[in-house]
Amino acid sequence: MAIVVTGVGVVSALGVGVERNLASLREGASGISAHPTLLKTGHRLPVGELAMCNEELHELLAISPREHLSRTALLGILAVREALEGVDRSNPKRIGLVSSTSVGGMDLTEHFFERFIEDEGAGRLRDARMHDCAASTDVIAKYCGIEGYRTTLSTACSSAANAIIIGAKLLKHNIVDMVVVGGSDALSAFTLNGFKSLMILDEKPCRPFDETRAGLNLGEGAGYIVLQREEDASNYICHLAGYANRNDAHHQTASSAEGDGAYMAMADAVAMAGIEPNAVDYINAHGTGTPNNDASESAAFVRLFGQSVPPFSSTKGYTGHTLAAAGGIEAVFSVMALKHGYRYANHNFSEPIAAYNLKPVTQFEEGREVKCVLSNSFGFGGNCSSILFTR
Amino acid sequence: MRCFIERVVTNHDVTTDIKVLIPDAGLRRRMSRVIKSAVTTAIETVGGVEGIASLDGIITATGWGCLADSERFLRNVIVDKEQLLNPTPFIQSTFNTVGGQIALLGHNHCYNVTYVNRSHSFEDALLDAMMRAEDGDSEHMLLGAFDEETPSQRRIMERMGLFRKVACGEGAMFAIVGAKRNERSIAEVSTLAFPAENLSHEKVVAEYATDERTHVIYNNYAKYGLYPTSSAQCFAEAVKLVAEGTPEVVIYNEYFGATPTVIVVRCLS
């Protein structure tokens, strides 16, 4: 059964909406700022922060500030509404939602907890209400008119890619007729300090796949795509032709030197689509900018593609690493690459990693024959997922 | 859609010494209570660490995730003013820590995913396992659920007024799920449903029971406590009942105004 993509929606540090994001990518204007301005933290580290506070997001969405939604939920509603905007909703009876997040309502919980640890009777309960991951899913469904089956996944930085996989399965098993899939994550002091404590944040703008890369920059945002069975869709943007979820089984937070999980996920996704690896025209890499990830992913590229690694780039130099949302945001970019013949530039690249000598795309390209795009998302816990889109 | 259950183990059933199940002392020391409970239950279910290698799907579910680690890290961020933080609780706060740890201990590269969907987490994970079984993606999967209770969480939920009728709870449960019936199969999952509205006990019997001796487990929070994946404990109870001769068990789970879930476990004819 063929699965097609019929809608896309995105919000990131580049701004609200697909057109705004693509315009920034075309102009080569990164969304990463020198330090957070909205997030409450003492760390002066570069981040990809959306320059709109929660009150502004409530207003933009025409949702009363009294609803007091978490930032993860607000970003998610923005992207899901856009994804469903141009989609014909008259025909499908059951619209589902497979969402994902790694922090859930942590932005509100942080607020709550500051008071709570001083006095267990203190802290506003409305700040604790949206802590769990499913809270954002429920709210997104409510404000986007989604009434069918819905679920929530959390597999760290591969979360949204897995949401795409589960969505395709739900369509194949006739549990839904249309499904919105992706992920949302807001910046939080929790994650910023978490990655800081792991010493994998770069104090400068990140440089994925560069010899001098020294870590990632965190970002925030949401990315969702709409999936349908091809026979049910009046028109569509592209096919979801392959996907795979494999585990690196090497370390809780680090990737194997040989890129085992990444290699297996890419190889399986390509095999599922029934194509040869050299048919891939563009790879939107995971490419976080950490020394470990980019070396491991490069090793996996060479294992699968040999001497002819397809044009590839990481867009995290523009958006930052948006954790659970990354696979959703990058799925939107991948789908748009197919639609418009784009290949995105890998921001801040100057010198290839010596051991692999792989050079990513460095200038925004358009009007190319892009027929097959691979999107990678890897995470803590060894989770590695690859998604393959074709025309 | 259906699948076959070969074994169920809850945290209460684990009898093997934790030093045997997780021989690495450093790893044991770092693991929080819920991770220890879930990972030991998982390893007991597969009959020791070497049993992990044969799995071709690891599907976990948790409503709350690793709360104690999340809280510990958040507390440190606030109290230590973002300075010199120990990363271990942050690493372990990730919802897929348990699934990842099982894969890591068994060097298993198979499909691995974690559902975090409140009271539907376990049922969503079961649905995934059933879809994989039907599609021939996986033959021999580990399916599990876990949640932990912490003093802060209990206090916050008390303040929300959630424990007026029933106490808080926690637990871990893992099962071996097979795509095909084999000599190790002890029960079959014949139905998994997500009704749009709450159903009375009578209605559950009328709609899902196919045998006059069908046993119904209806919202068993009094027995297992109130937590998002407590229906996984009901599932273990159901499989054990069926293995001992009950022809059919229907599990009805309705949590805090969420829409209910129904699982039907049947004996192998």
Question: Which tens digit of pLDDT belongs to each residue from B184-238?
Answer: 999 999 999 999 999 999 999 999 999 999 999 999 899 999 999 999 999 999 9
Nearest chain B residue (CA) to A148: B196
Q: What is the pLDDT of residue A90?
A: 83
CATH number at residue A203: 3.40.47.10
* pLDDT over 80 at A91, yes or no: no
Domain count, chain B: 1
The answer to whether A223 touches A10, Cβ cutoff 8 Å, is: yes
- Contact pairs from chain A to chain B, CB under 8 Å: 170
**Chain A CB contacts of B85 below 8 Å:** 193-194, 196-197
Round to whole Å and give the CA distance between A241 and A37: 40
Contacts B131 to A, Cβ<8 Å: 169-170, 172-173
| Contacts with A166 from chain B: Cβ below 8 Å | 113, 128
Flag if B82 and A42 touch (Cβ within 8 Å): yes
- With contact defined as beta carbons under 8 Å apart, do A77 and A101 qualify? no
pLDDT in tens, A287-333: 999 999 999 999 999 999 999 999 999 999 999 999 999 999 999 99
pLDDT at B178: 98
pLDDT score of A89: 87
Query: Position of tokens 């839904």?
Result: A176
Query: Which segments within chain B are labelled E, that is strand?
Result: 3-10, 58-61, 112-115, 140-147, 171-178, 187-193, 215-218, 248-253, 261-266
pLDDT of amino acid A206 = 98
Q: Provide the ipTM.
A: 0.98
pLDDT greater than 90 at residue A86: no
Residue A92 has a pLDDT of: 75
What's the CA gap between B233 and B9, in Å, rounded? 9
Q: Which residue do the tokens 């095999």 mark?
A: A271
Cα A264 to the chain's mean position, in Å? Answer: 20
3 state DSSP class of B139: coil
What distance in Å separates residue B244's CA from the closest CA in chain A?
Answer: 32
% of chain A beyond a pLDDT of 70: 100
B149: three-class secondary structure by DSSP: coil
What is this structure's pTM? 0.98
Q: Is A267 on the interface with B (CB under 8 A)?
A: no
Q: Which residue has the tokens 């509404």?
A: A81
Task: Determine whether the interchain pair A246/B110 forms a contact, defined as Cβ–Cβ distance below 8 Å.
Answer: yes
pLDDT of B256 reads: 81
CATH number of the CATH domain containing B115: 3.40.47.10
First to last CA, chain A: 15
Asked whether the beta carbons of A348 and B79 are under 8 A apart, the reply is no
For residue A134, give how far its alpha carbon lies from the nearest alpha carbon of chain B (Å): 5
Whether residue A221 contacts residue A373, with contact meaning beta carbons closer than 8 Å, is answered with no
Q: For A252-296, how does the pLDDT look when each residue is reduced to its tens digit (9 = 90+)? A: 999 999 999 999 999 999 999 999 999 999 999 999 999 999 999
pLDDT band of A225, cuts 50, 70, 90: very high
- The DSSP 8-state label assigned to residue A234 in this structure reads S
Span A156-192, pLDDT tens digits: 999 999 999 999 999 999 999 999 999 999 999 999 9
A172 touches chain B (CB under 8 A): yes
Give the model's pLDDT for residue A38.
97
Whether A126 contacts chain B with CB within 8 A: no
Asked whether the beta carbons of B59 and B125 are under 8 A apart, the reply is yes
For B119, which residue in chain A has the nearest alpha carbon?
A: A134
Q: Are A370 and A281 in contact (CB under 8 A)?
A: yes
% of chain B beyond a pLDDT of 90? 96
Give the sign of the dihedral formed by CA A246, CA A248, CA A253, CA A256. Answer: negative
A145: left (phi over 0), alpha (psi -120 to 50) or beta: left
Cβ-based neighbours of A135, under 8 Å, separated by 6 or more:
A70, A73, A104, A105, A129
Distance from CA of B44 to the nearest CA of A (A): 20
Number of compact structural domains in chain A? 1
Compute the residue count for chain B. 269
How far apart, in Å, are the Cα atoms of A223 and each of A9, A76, A154, A269, A339? 6, 8, 15, 21, 17
Please tell me if residue A115 touches chain B, with a CB cutoff of 8 Å.
Answer: no
Would the CB atoms of B128 and A166 count as touching at under 8 Å? yes
CA dihedral A331, A336, A342, A347 (to 10 degrees): -50
* Chain A residues touching residue B70 (CB < 8 angstroms): 190
| Positive or negative torsion for Cα A254, A259, A264, A265 | positive
Q: Which of A41, A125, A252 to mutate to test the interface with B (most CBs of B within 10 A)?
A: A252
Report yes or no: A254 at the B interface, CB cutoff 8 Å. no
Spatial distance between the Cα atoms of A33 and B126, rounded to a whole number of angstroms: 43
Instruction: Give the pLDDT score at B269.
Output: 80
Q: What is the largest CA-CA distance in chain B?
A: 64
Determine the 3-state secondary structure of A134 from DSSP. helix
Pairing of strands A221-229, B248-253: unpaired
Residue range of the domain that includes B142: 3-266
Pick from A150, A247, A252: CB nearest B109: A247
The residue range of the domain holding A136 is: 3-390
pLDDT value for B162: 87
Q: Name the stretches of chain B with pLDDT < 70.
A: none
> Which pLDDT belongs to residue B123?
98
Collapsed DSSP state (helix, strand, coil) of residue B114: strand
Across the interface, do B194 and A149 touch by the CB < 8 Å criterion?
Answer: yes
Q: Place A338 in a pLDDT band, splitting at 50, 70 and 90.
A: very high
DSSP label of A344: -
